[in-house]
């Protein structure tokens, strides 16, 4: 079976879908692995390192695409690359199907099967395949460092001969993997941290990291399938904003991390809330590529609104490419290994992991929200 690891085409994408470590495991499992020249350069993995573990290097991307049985990517490939794949080939990556409907159409037309890493169900045996968590952890960590760098004050409490410096106040919106890592990082830097989440079950996790959970009384739990937050009603979100507003307006830093898989990110910080924040405060919106938690944020841009700096980093994991690639490559290999049967890929649609992650197969779109979006 032939596997191809291309150089990512997305501008600014430094990660790679397979590292020398994971390629060695693939080769050991009997797979024929081809890597595009320079694919690992952004993550500081050289072509020589790949060759040393048994990979074949190629400079002919189109020929490799047309001959491969499995294409491993970090993010969605160009639709033209997807069209070059042969019928029955497999694409594995963070495909963001609702944002890449043209790609989904090409995959369907070409009868290419695709597994979207972000759709892997959150169950015990799929933990090693959970790319959303591995990348979100890095994003949460980097978001706090980014905010600390841009904030015009210290994070920790400092007692000096010139007087006492109060610690920064940080509000984290969403206590998923990214949010909890943001809490841990902000606490390590000495900030006072408060957390807002619609799921009551995360309160204990927040408090174990030293954060204070912002109570949302009488609103009910918001936990959905697989432990993710479920989509809430506009009435609920309005009440949540009312409760959280006073905490946001007292904060020096707000980190927004709330996502609902397969849906637009909920708006948690309105324009009016931003206008009530402290002058010089910093807001980092990690949900910006899914529509954003902040009404004012823009993907890949810095916005200053009422003397508040709003950052919309589009791809924070790519700023830590070595570890981000190592973790992601392990996620991909764990999924790929589970599909192998005597050296060939078998897609068992009765398997819970395959059924959950399978985006397209045999000319059909299997992911219901994507299918509905295409029909619309």
User: What pLDDT, in 10s, does the model give residues 246-268?
Assistant: 999 999 999 999 987 667 888 89
Residue 227 has pLDDT above 60, yes or no: no
Q: Is residue 187 part of a domain?
A: yes
Indicate whether 302 and 343 sit together in one domain: no
Q: Is residue 128 part of a domain?
A: no
CATH number, domain containing residue 277? 3.40.50.720
Phi, then psi, of 78 in degrees rounded to 5 = -65, 140
Indicate whether 20 and 109 sit together in one domain: yes
Q: How confident is the model at residue 232 (pLDDT cuts 50, 70, 90)?
A: low
d(CA 172, CA 371): 33
What average pLDDT is seen over the chain?
93
Indicate whether 164 and 277 sit together in one domain: yes
Indicate whether 304 and 160 sit together in one domain: yes
Indicate whether 210 and 247 sit together in one domain: yes
Q: Which of 319, 339, 358 is the last residue of a domain?
A: 319
Q: Is residue 71 part of a domain?
A: yes
Indicate whether 77 and 188 sit together in one domain: no
Residues in the chain: 376
Q: Which domain holds residue 92?
A: 2-119+320-371
Indicate whether 270 and 359 sit together in one domain: no
Q: Is residue 168 part of a domain?
A: yes
Q: What is the pLDDT of residue 262?
A: 63
Q: How confident is the model at residue 343 (pLDDT cuts 50, 70, 90)?
A: confident
As a whole number, mean pLDDT of residues 38-54 equals: 98
Top mean pLDDT of 156-160, 213-217, 256-260 is at 156-160
Indicate whether 86 and 186 sit together in one domain: no
Catalytic residues: 122, 127, 130, 133, 228
Q: Is residue 126 part of a domain?
A: no
User: Is the full-model pTM beyond 0.85?
Assistant: yes
How many domains is the chain built from? 2
As a whole number, mean pLDDT of residues 200-227 equals: 77
As a whole number, mean pLDDT of residues 229-241 equals: 70
Q: Is residue 132 part of a domain?
A: no
Q: What is the pLDDT of residue 116?
A: 97
As a whole number, mean pLDDT of residues 124-131 equals: 96
Residue 229 has pLDDT above 60, yes or no: no
User: What pLDDT, in 10s, does the model give residues 287-314?
Assistant: 998 899 999 999 999 999 999 999 999 8
Q: Is residue 125 part of a domain?
A: no
């Amino acid at each position: 079976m032939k596997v191809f690891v291309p150089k990512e085409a997305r501008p600014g994408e430094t990660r790679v879908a397979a590292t020398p470590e994971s390629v060695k495991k693939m080769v050991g499992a009997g797979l024929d692995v081809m890597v595009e020249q320079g694919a690992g350069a952004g993550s500081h993995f050289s072509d020589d390192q790949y060759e040393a573990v048994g990979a074949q290097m190629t400079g002919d991307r189109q020929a490799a695409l047309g001959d491969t049985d499995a294409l491993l990517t970090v993010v969605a490939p160009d639709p033209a690359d997807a069209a070059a794949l042969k019928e029955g080939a497999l694409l594995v990556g963070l495909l963001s199907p609702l944002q890449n409907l043209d790609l989904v159409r090409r995959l369907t037309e070409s009868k290419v099967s695709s597994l979207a890493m972000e759709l892997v169900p959150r169950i015990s045996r799929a933990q090693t395949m959970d790319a959303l968590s591995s990348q979100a952890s890095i994003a949460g960590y980097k978001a706090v460092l980014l905010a600390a760098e841009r904030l015009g004050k210290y994070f920790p409490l400092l007692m000096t001969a010139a007087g006492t410096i109060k610690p920064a106040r940080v509000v984290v919106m969403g206590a998923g993997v990214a949010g909890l890592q943001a809490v841990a990082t902000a606490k390590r830097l000495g900030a006072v941290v408060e957390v807002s989440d619609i799921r009551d079950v995360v309160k204990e996790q927040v408090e174990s990291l030293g954060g204070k959970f912002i109570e949302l009384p009488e609103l009910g739990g918001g936990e959905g399938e697989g432990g993710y937050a479920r989509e809430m009603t506009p009435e609920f979100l309005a009440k949540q904003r009312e409760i959280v507003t006073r905490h946001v307006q007292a904060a020096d830093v707000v980190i927004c991390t709330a996502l609902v898989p397969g849906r637009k990110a909920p708006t948690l910080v309105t324009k009016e809330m931003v206008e009530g924040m402290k002058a010089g405060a910093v807001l980092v919106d990690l949900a910006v590529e899914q529509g954003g938690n902040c009404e004012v944020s823009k993907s890949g841009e810095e916005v200053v609104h009422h003397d508040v700096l709003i950052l919309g980093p589009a791809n924070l994991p790519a700023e830590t490419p070595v570890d981000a690639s190592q973790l992601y490559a392990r996620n991909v290999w764990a999924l790929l290994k589970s599909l192998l049967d005597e050296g060939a890929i078998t897609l068992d649609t009765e398997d819970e992991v395959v059924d959950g992650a399978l985006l397209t197969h045999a000319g059909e779109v299997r992911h219901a929200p994507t299918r509905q979006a295409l029909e619309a």
